[in-house]
Amino acid sequence: MSSSTFSFECQTRCGQTGARAGIFQTPHGPVHTPRFMPVGTLANVKTVTPAQLKTTGAEMVLANTYHLHLQPGDDIVAEAGGLHRFMAWDGPMLTDSGGFQVFSLSQIRTITEAGVSFRSPRDGRLIDISPEISIEIQNRLGADVIMAFDECPPYPASREAVAAATDRTFRWLKRCTATHQRSDQALFGIVQGGVFLDLRQRAAKELVDLDLPGYAIGGVSVGEPPELIEQIVRATTPLLPETKPRYLMGVGTYREMAQAIAAGIDLFDCVIPTRLARHGSALVGGDRWNLKNARFRRDYAPLDSTCGCYTCQNFSRAYLCHLIHAKELLAFTLLSIHNITELVGFTQKIRRAIIHNRFAEDFGHWLQTPQAEGSGT
């Protein structure tokens, strides 16, 4: 189901790459692309309030259908007025389908054409999720963008297994579109296919024929090396419509985002900024800094003198080091604020560079060499 409340406008294209700057309009406001989206798994971005999240430049937030179905339950979220009201976030939101979590976190009991049956990791009860149930849950949650229920094969997996999962994902997508009932929610399809480029390309062409409001590339960043991720994205993205937003799921490192933007990707999500924060690490200038290190104990400089976030404007590296060693929860909040600001800001800088036709010049080092990617950023 498409709706006039959603639109995507490509404002500028890079002259040397496939990068583009655009605006994705949603019922809860615009998303200026390319853009990194923080992950709020259980209707909150860990340790950060919605007001603090606004200061990071985040425009769109992701929540998790699987986890919210288990706790507190999508019926409770619906009774509260939907996700936006429940978590006091008035900006655009996206919910994933739960497919990745079902296949990666749960003790799977059965995968059939009907759907998936699994044991809840919380209480052991048997839960059934089908394409229809996933969409019904997401309709109740009420995010602006919802995702089709897909089968995400692991890496590595045989070509036969990946082909079967890819075909089933497309059949499930057609059931998702038949079930989806809310015109104020945009249903995105997901391109699967593992590391097999011909399967990816076939899946992309099949999805495009359904004329969906947006398209995602899923099943990447599940253990395969970065060079394979780049190959998948470069081979798949050009097949997706230029008039629709393109979303690369689960990717949020500097290099991978820059390379994907060069291929024409618009949206990203990843738990990296908050996960690193909970481990006492900060993203600074393309590197990861472990603030637990003794070298920061008497370092009274701002975390990043070039960053305008609340953390960098008010606190020193020494103070952050102290909070981490003292196991103070404030450390997680301050580092999360900075890390989210850093990754959102990275995509904002790329957007400005695209508009001024400087993307290839200013960010070429991220496209060509690993740089700080040795530390995973």
Above 50 in pLDDT, residue 373?
no
Convert 85-120 to b/e letters by CB count within 10 Å (16 or more is b): ebbebebbbbbbbbbbbbbeebeeeebeeebbbbee
Closest to 248 measured CA to CA, from 202, 210, 200, 288: 200
Q: How many CB atoms lie within 10 A of CB 31?
A: 25
pLDDT of 119 reads 85
Catalytic residue status for 128:
no
- Identify the band that residue 106 occupies on the pLDDT scale cut at 50, 70 and 90: low
17, 197 contact by CB (below 8 A): no
As a whole number, mean pLDDT of residues 198-227 equals 96
CA distances from 113 to 69, 110, 158, 175, 319 (A): 21, 10, 19, 11, 54
- Identify the band that residue 26 occupies on the pLDDT scale cut at 50, 70 and 90: very high
Half-sphere exposure of 300 (CA within 13 A, CB side): 0
Domains identified in the chain and CATH numbers = 20-277 (3.20.20.105)
- What are the DSSP E strand ranges found in the chain? 7-13, 20-26, 29-33, 35-38, 61-64, 93-96, 107-111, 116-119, 126-129, 145-147, 186-191, 214-217, 246-248, 267-270, 281-284, 287-290
Q: Which range, of 123-132, 266-275, 305-314, averages the lowest pLDDT?
A: 123-132
Beta-bridge partner residues of 288 = 283
H runs (alpha helix) in 142-180: 159-179
Above 90 in pLDDT, residue 310?
yes
Backbone angles phi, psi at 219, to 5 degrees: 70, 20
- Identify the band that residue 312 occupies on the pLDDT scale cut at 50, 70 and 90: very high
As a whole number, mean pLDDT of residues 41-52 equals 98
pLDDT of 270 reads 98
Catalytic residue status for 299:
no
Catalytic residue among 96, 150, 266, 304: 96
109, 126 contact by CB (below 8 A): yes
- Identify the band that residue 124 occupies on the pLDDT scale cut at 50, 70 and 90: confident
Above 70 in pLDDT, residue 374?
no
Above 90 in pLDDT, residue 101?
no
Local structure of residue 302 (DSSP, 8 states): B
As a whole number, mean pLDDT of residues 268-286 equals 98
Local structure of residue 279 (DSSP, 8 states): T
- Identify the band that residue 189 occupies on the pLDDT scale cut at 50, 70 and 90: very high
> What is the model's pTM?
0.96
**What share of the chain in percent tops pLDDT 90?**
88
Q: To 10 degrees, the CA torsion angle through 313, 315, 316, 320?
A: -130
- Identify the band that residue 372 occupies on the pLDDT scale cut at 50, 70 and 90: very low
* pLDDT: which is higher, 119 or 200: 200
CA distances from 119 to 69, 106, 109, 148 (A): 13, 7, 7, 22
34, 265 contact by CB (below 8 A): yes
pLDDT of 105 reads 67
- Identify the band that residue 178 occupies on the pLDDT scale cut at 50, 70 and 90: very high
Catalytic residue among 74, 144, 150, 269: 269
Amino acid at 345: G
* pLDDT: which is higher, 287 or 3: 287
Distance CA 133, CA 179 (A): 9
- Identify the band that residue 248 occupies on the pLDDT scale cut at 50, 70 and 90: very high
The pLDDT mean for the chain works out to 95
Helix-helix angle 330-355:254-263, to 10 degrees? 30
For 207, residues 6+ apart whose C-beta sits below 8 A from its C-beta are: 170, 173, 189, 190, 191, 215, 240
Distance CA 289, CA 274 (A): 14
192, 203 contact by CB (below 8 A): yes
- Identify the band that residue 250 occupies on the pLDDT scale cut at 50, 70 and 90: very high
pLDDT of 369 reads 53
Above 90 in pLDDT, residue 342?
yes
For 350, residues 6+ apart whose C-beta sits below 8 A from its C-beta are: 19, 34, 257, 258, 261, 359, 363
The SS3 call for residue 340 is: helix
pLDDT of 25 reads 99
The SS3 call for residue 170 is: helix
